[in-house]
Structure 1
Amino acid sequence: MRLHVIVGPARQLLSTCLLVVVAAGCGGTEAGQGSYFGAGTTTAPTTESAPESETESTSAQPPPTAASTESTSAAPTSAVPTTASPTGTPPPPSDELSEQGWVVGSVELRRSAFDSFEGDAQITNTADTERTALFAITLFVGEDLVASLIASVTAVPAGGTVTAPLIGFDPYVEGPYSIDLEVSFTT
C-alpha cells in the first residue's frame, strides 16, 4: 500500500474544501455556536479535570496532575499565538491571535478518541455588526507544521465571545505549539 502525503497548495485547497463542507453541515442551536451535524450545542471549557490518561499542558502554569487538555491563551509562554502565514512556516510571534476583526482569546487542545487533534477556541467578534466565520488554525511544533484544525461560528453579535469547537484530522502530536490563525470566510 502506498501512502501519499498532501503538501503545499494541494493541502491548502483540501483544507479550504473541508471548511466549506463543515460550514454546510453546521446547524447551531445557539447564536454563535455551531453544532456539527445537529449533535447538540457546544459549551465553554470548564475547570473540571478529565481522565488522567490523555494529556499534557502547554499553558504558562505548571502542568496539572490529572488534566486531559492542552490550553493556551492570548499571551502564553509555551504556545505562541501568531498571525496568518501562507508559506507553511511558523509566522513570527505576536501578542494577539487576531485577523479580520476576530480575536482568539484562548485555544484548548485535546487528543480525540481517534488519536487526532480536537479542541475549543474562545473567539470574539470585534466588529460593530453580527457576523459569521470559518477559521483555519494551524499548529507548529518548532518549525514543523503538525496539524490544521477548523472551526466555525454563526451569528456572533458585535463584541460577543463564543466557544467554537475545533476539528482536526491530523495525528495528535504533543506540544508546545505555535498557533497560526486564518479567517477563511467571514460575513
Structure 2
Amino acid sequence: MEQLTDSLSKGQVGYVHVEGMNEASYRSTFDKVLGKNLTKKALIVDTRFNGGGWLHDDLVTFLGGKKYFSFRPQGEATTGGEPGNKWTKPSCVLMSEGNYSDAFMFPYAYKALGLGKLIGMPVAGTGTAVWWENLIDNSLTFGIPMVGSWGINETHATENHQIEPDIRVPNDYNKVLTGTDQQLEAAVKEMLSQIK
C-alpha cells in the first residue's frame, strides 16, 4: 500500500498501517511516519482490520501535533521545527468493518478532536475495556467487560453505537479481486485536495 500511495500521489502523501493497538505497532508507526514519511505533505493512517489493544490516546496525541517553532540556522529556513516528535501536517484515517475494540476508539477520538477525516466504512461501537483472564491450564482466555467509554456530551456509552466515516467508500468485491483498493484511492484523493 505504501508504493501504491506513493504512485497515486506522485510522492506527496505518506502511508502507514497500524496493525494493532500495541507498543510494537506504535513503534513501527512512529518510525515510519517520522522516518520515511517525514517530508511528505500529508499522511494516510490505515487502521483497517485492526483487532484492538490500547493505543488510541498515544495515536491522537502523535497525530495531533501543532507546529510552534521553525528552525533557522544563520537565518536559513529548514524543514525542521517543533514539535519534532509529532505529525503536524494533514492526515486522514482509513477504517473498515473489520476494526474492533481500540480500533473503534481511535477513529472516534480522532474525529472528536477534529484531526482529520475518517474514510472507509462504519465501525461498530466495540470500545469497552476488557479484563482478560485465563483458566488454570491457559487453554481458554475470556474477557470480562470492565470500563465503558462515553464521548464528551454523549448521552450513551460508545458501545453498540457505530462511528460513521466522513467519506463512505465500500470496496466493490470484483475490484478487490483485481487488487484495486478504492478506499485507499479515496484517501489519496482527499489528502491531495488538502495540500493543494
TM-score band w.r.t. shorter chain? under 0.3
In the superposition, the TM-score normalised over structure 1's length comes to 0.22
Q: Which has the larger radius of gyration?
A: 2
TM-score computed with the length of structure 2 as normaliser? 0.21
